[in-house]
Amino acid sequence: MYPCSAVYGEEFTAHDMDISRENRARIENALAHLPDYVFRHRPVTALISDLERVHDRRHIRMIEEFSSYGGLHYIDMDTYVTGDSFKTALLAAGSSILACCRALDGEHCFALVRPPGHHAEPDRAMGFCLFNNAAVAAAWALEKVDRVAIIDWDLHHGNGTQKIFYGSDRVLFCSIHQSNAFPGTGWIDEIGEGRGRGFSLNAPVLPGGTIDDYAYVFSEVFAEAISHFSPDLLIISAGQDTLLDDPMEGMRLLPRDFAVLTRILMEAHDNPLALVLEGGYGPSLGDSVAAVFHALHGEPVKMPFGNPRESTITTVTHLKKVMI
């Protein structure tokens, strides 16, 4: 059994706007539920060169400039920048790299960071996301290992992560998300292009999905893809906005269900996992983070025995036809 740790700090409360769902209360909720056995790492700052592996230099400069103005600036109706945002976003990206570094050194590690990142594209911030933390970390890891897999279980499709690695055969990207939800991407036929064809797998699930639907996709598709791809590192874009009490109101997962998803991935990948916090805005966010750590710590996990919906079975059938 591998040790498990978290990367976090009070610094992640600095980028904040009370009226936004993506505010400091999210990280405070998660930290309040950390089990005592979790070792704590201090956050670290990413270098500009770390960001430049996946982001255009003009995009990085734009976020830095907006933040330097102080006050509050909107990039779109959801995505804001304050005077603290650039520094905080650098810490989020750097701490995601640290989580991967710890995983490669033999330790499960969860980067409890904000702002989230999986919607951020090479030249665009969107959906609360300024820089793509998981992609920055994966690009860093690819300078040390051959293959990286990214599993995204957020309610929304990780369009930015997919776009960054869409032409790569060194990154396997698997996303399960609510169909027809923001940002309107992540369909089954989005499988990659060029050398990356077959290395993107998208499982759009109809609203109201439960752990029976999620576990079926994970067991039948994602675990098999991971086994075949045999990555040196597995990163989880761990959004918790699929919870029943989340204001996004799309899925019906319970906190304990994240232990199930974590355990499936642990069994599919022999090495430690790196996790990066994405969405999650409801009161049980902290409980779901704790459930992830319980699975990582080796505590018993009750696996589901229910049946997935016919629509999910159909999605899996189609996905199996496009798998590598």
Closest C-alpha among 169, 101, 89 to residue 132: 89
C-beta of residue 117 within 8 angstroms of C-beta of residue 134 = yes
Closest C-alpha among 250, 220, 242 to residue 315: 220
> Could you give phi then psi for residue 86, rounded to 5 degrees?
-65, -45
> Could you give phi then psi for residue 322, rounded to 5 degrees?
-110, -5
Q: What is the DSSP letter of 271?
A: S
Q: Which residues are catalytic?
A: 119
Q: How far apart are CA 129 and CA 100, in angstroms?
A: 20
Q: Taking CA 214 as the corner, what is the angle to CA 210 and CA 120, rounded to the nearest 5 degrees?
A: 110
C-beta of residue 175 within 8 angstroms of C-beta of residue 152 = yes
Q: Where are the alpha helices (DSSP H) in 17-118?
A: 24-32, 48-52, 57-68, 85-104
Residue 64: which residues within 8 A CB-CB, separation 6 or more?
86
Q: Burial letters for 13-37: b for 16+ Cβ neighbours within 10 Å, e otherwise?
A: bbbbeeeebbbbebbebbbebbeee
Residue found under tokens 């869409």 = 166
Q: Encoding tokens for residue 23? A: 């505010």
